[in-house]
A and B are shown apart, each in its own frame.
Chain A
């Protein structure tokens, strides 16, 4: 089935692109021929995307992997309507997964106002929406807490969005406002070790509430080199009814009033600086997640007096990244080399069964074969206490008393924009 889907996409994309991109009005030289504007100017189909393949080597494991193959379909109708969709294909650890990254239709209503519907990329911070493609991301992987797997932030959801860019004097304003189905609160009934966590992959909403969010990006400099973004996201992620309805012992546990508030600040500064003979690229994002307190059941404890617990459900994730590429160097090889460093941290709630604290230093050396094809060589030092090692699950021992684990990983990845 998956093969058929891939084959269908490739046939549609290549066939249609070839057909439309190569059609030109034919002129046989006769004076009577009327050359009409080619119809392909009005609508156009493209298949693009990105892929990344690589090798990760640590003291425990050496593995080739295909971290991403993401075809992106673009269909433009006229000058205002665009449909775009991304398929996410991954093959890691002997598992192949195929997901719909996003599929949305956009229409420019008027200058500075675009409406978008469908499964949209959530403009929360900058990384998830703009920087996640492997050929755009300077590092081989996402910062801690911001990736698809186990991340604390929304990546994509079904809903409607208004967005646009406005010139305000010499500055610019970038805005996005959206309403989507929102996350689901893991209440512990399907996995007690994840109680209190937000689940972002919900194609069906579990309640009548909708999540609301917005990002305001301010570009104060006239050359657009600096952007500072502020993001907010509010949702009520609990089921509308108690998951323990009918259970006389626990039917008082209800999560319908639980709220989730996420905020983020992001910063981007990219500028070619002549004295440095190259481009400086600074990126950063600080994310906070606050879910209101709720009471959950301890696994394996049936005593009504002791089987409940609560915790302050707050998580943080942040990263800072600096890259430099000597684009103005005289040497052809040197100008294609880029050095990059990143520091990222991800902390999950203290007292939860998924409590963890992780930090990571990543150093990379990239070689750009073209503007969209890059070989990334990196070394990553990750420290932390993994999830599930919290005080409660370890019989009361505090996390601070436990030794942290350190994993050093060497990475070689080739990323291509297709």
Chain B
């Protein structure tokens, strides 16, 4: 049990260090991601990708807020994805 806790602690430390290291670099690549790309990357983490045509603009706004809350999408991700779904439906 103690081994598991130690390994967990080490993994967590390495990941935190990785994040801080990466935080220092530019995130321009992230900023330039389109809504379509973010839709492809994020929705599939839990379920198959929905078609933009499955819902109306109003419904996408509600679903976007729901998914932002459920899987902790960043504000920018949620906005870009919803805008894309509205533009493509």
Please give the residue numbers on chain A whose beta carbons come within 8 Å of chain B beta carbons, in ascending order.
20-21, 40-41, 44, 46, 74, 76, 79-80, 82, 84, 106, 108, 111-112, 114, 116, 129-131, 135-136, 163-176, 217-218, 220, 222-225, 227-228, 230, 263, 265, 268, 270, 272, 279, 288, 314, 368, 371-372, 417
Contacts and interface: CB of A to CB of B under 8 A. Distances in A.
A112 B47 contact: no
B25 A130 contact: no
Given A169-B21, A225-B41, A371-B54, 14 more contacts: A136-B46, A163-B69, A164-B74, A166-B74, A169-B23, A169-B24, A169-B25, A170-B22, A171-B22, A174-B71, A224-B41, A265-B11, A371-B49, A371-B50
Interface in B32-70: 41-42, 44-51, 54, 56, 58-59, 61-63, 65-66, 68-70
A225 B40 CA distance: 10
A263 B44 CA distance: 26
A270 B69 contact: no
Contact of B61 (A44, A111, A135): A44
Given A44-B61, A270-B45, A228 B51 contact: no
Nearest to B25: A169
Given A163-B69, A368-B48, A169 B12 contact: no
A44 B44 contact: no
A76 B75 contact: no
Contacts of A131: 46
A21 B18 contact: no
A330 B77 CA distance: 31
Nearest to A314: B1
B15 interface: yes
Contact of B72 (A21, A82, A165, A171): A165
Contact of B59 (A21, A111, A175, A223): A21
Contacts of A368: 48
B56 A76 contact: no
16 contacts: A44-B58, A46-B63, A108-B75, A164-B72, A165-B71, A167-B74, A167-B76, A170-B22, A170-B27, A218-B15, A228-B15, A265-B8, A270-B45, A288-B4, A371-B51, A372-B47
Given A21-B59, A222-B29, A176 B42 contact: no
B59 A168 contact: no
B8 A169 contact: no
Contacts of A174: 71-72
Most buried by A among B24, B41, B72: B72
A418 B78 CA distance: 22
A171 B70 contact: no
A130 B46 contact: yes
Contacts of B71: 130, 165, 174
Contacts of A268: 45
At the interface, is chain B mostly helix, strand, loop or mixed? Answer: helix
Contact of B19 (A20, A111, A173, A265): A173
B73 interface: yes
B30 interface: yes
B19 A218 contact: yes
Given A44-B58, A44-B62, A168-B23, A230 B12 contact: yes
A82 B66 CA distance: 7
B41 A223 contact: yes
Nearest to A225: B41
Given A130-B70, A174-B72, A175-B72, A167 B58 contact: no
Contacts of A44: 58-59, 61-62
A159 B4 CA distance: 30
B27 A167 contact: yes
Contacts of B30: 167, 169-170, 222
A41 B58 contact: yes
Contacts of B74: 111-112, 164-167, 172
- In order of increasing CB-CB distance, the 10 nearest A-B pairs are A165-B72, A169-B22, A371-B48, A174-B72, A169-B23, A76-B62, A165-B74, A168-B23, A111-B75, A171-B19
B62 A46 contact: yes
A198 B28 CA distance: 48
B19 A220 contact: yes
B55 to A, nearest CB: 9
B15 A220 contact: yes
Contacts of A175: 72
Contacts of B76: 167
A172 B22 CA distance: 10
